[in-house]
Amino acid sequence: MTVTPQPIPIPVPEDFPVRWDAPEEAQLLWMWNNTHFPGPVSPLGMDLMRLAVIPGLEKGLKAMGAPLREIRTKRVNTFCYVSMVLDPDLLPTAEERMQAAIRDRGFRIYQLWLEQWQPEVEAAIQRLRSFDYRGATDVQLADLVDWAVAADIRMWEIHFELMPGFYLAPLFKEACARLLGVSGLEAYEMMQGGFNLSVDASSRLWRLAHGAPAEVKEVISSLPAPQALARLRETDTGRAFLVELDRYLYDYGWRSGGLDLIEPSWVEEPTRAIDNMRLLLRVDVDPEEEQRRGAERAEALANRHRAALANEPEKLNEFNFLYEVVKQYPQMQENHNIYIDQTWRALLRLPFLETGRRMVARGVLAEAGDIVYLSLDEIRAFFAGDATARQATVAERRAEMARWQAYVPPALLGTQPPDAALDAFWSDFLGVPVEPSRDPKVVKGIGAARGTATGTARVVRSLAET
């Protein structure tokens, strides 16, 4: 007799109250979106998640052939949860549609990025960079806020139009196992070494740190970042170094620790760059050199496998085709992240911060940065003439986020559906979850490198703690 697996309600911790807006919500599986929001998310951050990120993700997954009806999102005790509602009628043909999307766009996705989408993203970035925030009228600023929200929607559409390219890594891994019998780790080693903006950003900061005068290195290495920055501003040598740091930050300082607009950029808080430089001073090899070595290893592995397939031309042609395509994967993955997830999102703070400054001037807020504790509707109401004092509202919402800051919420809420096999992309891209350790002194994770190392383990919550 066959027993059909049944959905299982997920127990909710007593100290994590959940209020469902409708009974049907409790029947869905809700996943904590700690990839994008590893802690509490602000009201403004959540509004932009609903308006821009989630619709872009839903559109991208549907274009990939995912058997998806809709994606819902919910803020529970300040944490962001998402639920992917499947369409059972689309399940039988999902694999066929996914393969078609990869054939149609996946193999040329990096060229599409370079020729179509990157110029569009660069134009949006330039508008936020060049806007005269202090000189704009309220009407002009309100128009910019509306444009920025619409542009954010478009940025996330572009972000997830790249999704067929994200499947290239598991596709290449599967082909290497089938054609050559090699491990997934070795397949991934063959993808490394291509130039990308993340390595360039790290390399330039490494060279800036290692090329600094000895007294500057000593200050960065020995003092907490805020004190180090203050000390550098006191000397001619330190000020000259900070001029060079500002040049770096103009190019690569528009980034933060997450997607929530509550996070200041490195441009706003250069101490974040100081923390990174302190870490890089402990690294002997330029990241660009590490990249070059990785490229050499990748090509050596590829040549070895080409030799193994020399007498099987069809397999060799397939390997060569996929290898040339997948080498572009790290470039696409890293560069789009620098442009959209980092630079665009960091610059998106600027129109809201200027709005916050004007709210302070009219008695609506106590500090400009408090605008992240308002909803988008409340911000638009201000431009429509609503000057209601919101300091008490902000204080309440800030206190709520602070109360949950140290809490680790449940990974899942709602109802667990019957077991289903993980898509190769999601299991490779996000990792297969490991069974948590029952020993409080043991932390389990996902292996990401060869070999075994033994040493003192530390839990580091920020670079300031390194």
Q: Are 425 and 164 in contact (CB under 8 A)?
A: no
**CA pair distance 296, 304, nearest whole angstrom:** 12
- The DSSP result for 241-307, as a single string, is HHHHHHHHHHHH----SSSSTTSPPTTT-THHHHHHHHHHTT--S-HHHHHHHHHHHHHHHHHHHHH
Strand-pairing partners, residue 68, are 86
Helices (H) and strands (E) in the chain, counts: 22, 5
**CA pair distance 159, 218, nearest whole angstrom:** 41
Could you tell me the residue ranges of all domains in the chain?
Answer: 8-163+348-404, 167-342
Query: Which pLDDT tens digits describe the chain residue by residue (466 residues)?
Result: 455 677 899 999 999 999 999 999 999 999 999 888 989 999 999 999 999 999 999 999 999 999 999 999 999 999 999 999 999 899 889 889 988 998 889 999 999 999 999 999 999 999 999 999 999 999 999 999 999 999 999 999 999 999 999 889 989 999 999 999 998 889 999 999 888 999 999 999 999 999 999 999 999 999 999 999 999 999 999 999 999 999 999 999 999 888 999 999 999 999 999 999 999 999 999 999 999 999 999 999 999 999 999 999 999 999 999 999 999 999 999 999 999 999 999 999 999 999 999 999 999 999 999 999 999 999 999 999 999 999 999 999 999 999 999 899 999 999 998 865 445 555 555 555 555 566 767 777 666 667 788 888 777 666 666 6
Which of 262, 276, 191 shows the shortest CA–CA distance to 466? 276
Residues 375-426 have pLDDT tens digits of: 999 999 999 999 999 999 999 999 999 999 989 999 999 999 886 544 555 5
Q: Are 121 and 152 in contact (CB under 8 A)?
A: no
| DSSP classification of residue 344 | I
